[in-house]
Amino acid sequence: MTAYDPNNIFGKILKGEIPSVRVYEDDHTVAFMDVMPHAPGHVLVIPRKGSRNILDADAEVLARTIPVVQKIANAVKEAFEADGVYIAQFNEPAAGQTVFHLHFHVIPRHEGLPLKPHSGAMEDGAVLKANAEKIKAALEG
C-alpha cells in the first residue's frame, strides 16, 4: 500500500497551510465543512494523526474518531432537521477515495431528497460558514 503523504490537502488543512471552515476540533480530531457538499451541512471528520485511509489507521485513532463522527452526525441531524444521516468513508481510488488522509463524510439526509452529484464546483464560502454556525449551535446546545 502507498505510504501516507503528509502533504495531502487535509494534511495541509491540519497544519493551517490552507483554510477550512471548522465546526469542531479536539486533541485528536478536526471536523470541517466539505467545500463541494453533496447536501447542505456536509461535514468531514478527520483524525489529526495521519493515515492514508482506514486500512492503515491505528485502532486507537479509530476508537477516538468514531465518537466524534457520532457527535457530528447528531449535530447535523439537529441543525438541518434531517430525517437521517449518511456516513461514508472510501479507501483507495478504486473505492472512490480522492484525498489520501483518513476522513469520514457526515451528510444530513431528508426523505425523498437525493444527494447532489459531485459537480466540481466549490460552495460559496458564506454559505459554508452559515451552515457551520448552525452545526456549532447544535453542538453547543
Residue ranges in contact with ligand AMP by CB under 6 A: 9, 18, 20, 34-36, 44, 90, 96-99
Asked if 105 is an active-site residue, the reply is no
Is 38 or 141 the residue whose CB approaches ligand AMP more closely?
Answer: 38
Is 4 or 90 the residue whose CB approaches ligand AMP more closely?
Answer: 90
**If you count DSSP H runs as helices and E runs as strands, how many of each does the chain have, helices first?**
3, 5
Tell me how far apart the alpha carbons of residues 94 and 26 are, in angstroms, rounded to a whole number.
31
Is 2 or 98 the residue whose CB approaches ligand AMP more closely?
Answer: 98
Phi, psi of 104, rounded to the nearest 5 degrees: -115, 125
Whole-number minimum distance, CB 98 to ligand AMP, in Å?
A: 4
Residues that are catalytic? 103
